[in-house]
Structure 1
Amino acid sequence: MLVIEGLTRRFGGKVAVSDVSLTVESGGFVGVIGRSGAGKSTLLRMINRLQEPSEGRILCDGRDVTALRGQALRDWRADCAMIFQQFNLSGRLDVLTNVLMGRLNKTSTLSSVLRLWSAQDKAMALSALEMLDIANLAAQRADSLSGGQQQRVAIARALVQEPRMILADEPIASLDPRNTKVVMDALLRINKHYCITVLCNLHSLDLARTYCDRLVGMAQGRVVFDGAPEALTEDVARELYGLEAGEVMDAAAERPQPAAAAFAAA
């Protein structure tokens, strides 16, 4: 269980996240929603310790994550894998090597520098690519892939970290509708099949209500909604999205079932 207590982050005189307290049960798919600048990305980056809180604590199963240093911190970052909006791949390297980078925390320094990956690591990486239907791209350079394919490579890299949690920061922001569905289906499939907790920042209420079993709505750095998707009212949507609320609510009225929902029910 992840427990966030009074988390605050200031950048000079600006408060990006203000006194956020949340409890996240293991195995859930939580959508963090709100407009750009609401504090969603800063919240996820603090959970991963890519940014330090100005105040507050992060606890996981009773362990104070905000106090971790050295190897313990590196282990935590492996436990809560990040997926970024801009993929963060090494374009010059092939797809398989990019995925294997997710094994760095479980590989000796010499082996990682020389890229002496074990047969087990390679099998794990290929299995992750196969699950995401891109194993045939393993030998291609990452920069030769489409945006949707690159994001699936980034998801495979996160998966081979063997995380207990995936933090996805606007993972579909730069993708077209078809690739958006492919990537969101992949995250849902990982959540249901491996029981990996997913916290996913999303601007779109439509997508959040389609894929997530819980929504956390942020506005001006604060949590203004926390509950089931169907409990989010028009008034709360207006608080979250301002003038965009009408469009957001209309778009969410009719939404297709994600492909991974059928997988989960099988």
Structure 2
Amino acid sequence: MLVLEGVTRRFGAKAAVSGVDLAVAPGSFVGVIGRSGAGKSTLLRMVNRLVEPSEGVIRFGDRDVTALTGRALRDWRARCAMIFQQFNLVGRLDVLTNVLMGRLNAVPASRALVRLWSAEDKAIALAALEQFDIAGLAAERADRLSGGQQQRVAIARALVQEPDIILADEPIASLDPRNTRVVMDALRRINRHYGITVLCNLHSLDLARGCCDRLVGMAAGRVVFDGTPADLTDAAVRELYGLEAAEVLDAPPPAAVRFPAAAAGLAA
């Protein structure tokens, strides 16, 4: 169980996140929604400790995440994988090496620095790429791939960390509708097949309703909604999005992001 208690982050006089209390059950798929600037990205980055909380405690099981340092913090970041909007791949390196970077915490630093990956690590990385139908791109430079392909590589890199939690920060923000479907299918499959908890920041309300078990809505750094997609009424949307609510409510649902009860296979 991931638990946040009174978590706050201030930047100067401004509170980007303020007094968040949240409990996330293992194996759940939670969408974090709200306007730009609501504090969604800061919240996820505090869970991973890429941003330090100004106040409050983050716990995972009996571990105080906010107190971790050194090797223990590196271990936590391996168990709590991060997927970014802009992929964060090394463009000049091939796809397989980018995925193998997810194994850095599991191999001696001396081997990792000179890329002496074991046969087992290579097999794990290739298996992850195969799951997302991109094993054939293993030898390609990462910067030659499409946006959707790069994001699948980033997800494969997160998967080989063997994480308990995946934090996805607007993972489909720069993708077209087809690649949006492919990437969200990939995250949903990881969640259902492996039981990995997923926290995913999403701007699209219809996308969040279509793929998440639970929605957490943020406004001005605070959690103002926490419930199932069916619980998200028009009144709750107006509280979340303010003047943007009409635009969000009137947006046509993306045709490619309705998810069946069972995990869908990944598109090519």
Q: Same fold (TM over 0.5)?
A: yes
The change in CA–CA distance for 1:259 and 1:229 in structure 2 (over 3 A counts) is: closer
What's the RMSD between the two structures over aligned residues?
1.5
Cα drift, residue 235 of structure 1: 1.1
The one-letter amino acid paired with 1:241 is Y
Cα drift, residue 127 of structure 1: 0.6
The one-letter amino acid paired with 2:191 is N
Give runs of aligned pairs for residues 146-161 of structure 1, distance below 5 A.
146-161=146-161
Q: Any unmatched runs of 5+ in structure 1?
A: none
The one-letter amino acid paired with 1:37 is G
Q: Does 1:127 align with 2:147?
A: no
Specify which structure has the higher proportion of helix. Answer: 1
Cα drift, residue 252 of structure 1: 6.5
Structure 2 distance, partners of 1:254, 1:158, is 26
Structure 2 distance, partners of 1:139, 1:46, is 34
Structure 2 distance, partners of 1:49, 1:114, is 27
Task: Tell me which residue corresponds to 1:143.
Answer: 143
Identity over aligned pairs, percent = 75
SS class of match (1:153): helix
Task: Tell me which residue corresponds to 2:244.
Answer: 244
Structure 2 distance, partners of 1:256, 1:116, is 41
> What per-residue deviation string (whole Å, max 9, x for no partner) do you get for residues 50-107 of structure 1?
0100000000102110000110000000001000001000000000000000000001
The change in CA–CA distance for 1:147 and 1:257 in structure 2 (over 3 A counts) is: closer
Task: Tell me which residue corresponds to 1:208.
Answer: 208
User: How many equivalent pairs are there?
Assistant: 265
The change in CA–CA distance for 1:146 and 1:255 in structure 2 (over 3 A counts) is: closer
SS class of match (1:263): coil
Task: Tell me which residue corresponds to 1:57.
Answer: 57
> What per-residue deviation string (whole Å, max 9, x for no partner) do you get for residues 136-180 of structure 1?
100000000011100000000000000000000000011111111
SS class of match (1:37): coil
Task: Tell me which residue corresponds to 1:4.
Answer: 4
1:104 and 1:112 in contact (8 A); partners too: yes
SS class of match (2:136): helix
Q: Does 1:186 align with 2:186?
A: yes
Q: How high is the TM-score relative to the length of structure 2? A: 0.95
Give runs of aligned pairs for residues 157-176 of structure 1, distance below 5 A.
157-176=157-176
Q: Any unmatched runs of 5+ in structure 2?
A: none
The one-letter amino acid paired with 2:69 is R
Structure 2 distance, partners of 1:210, 1:252, is 13
2:181 and 2:257 in contact (8 A); partners too: no
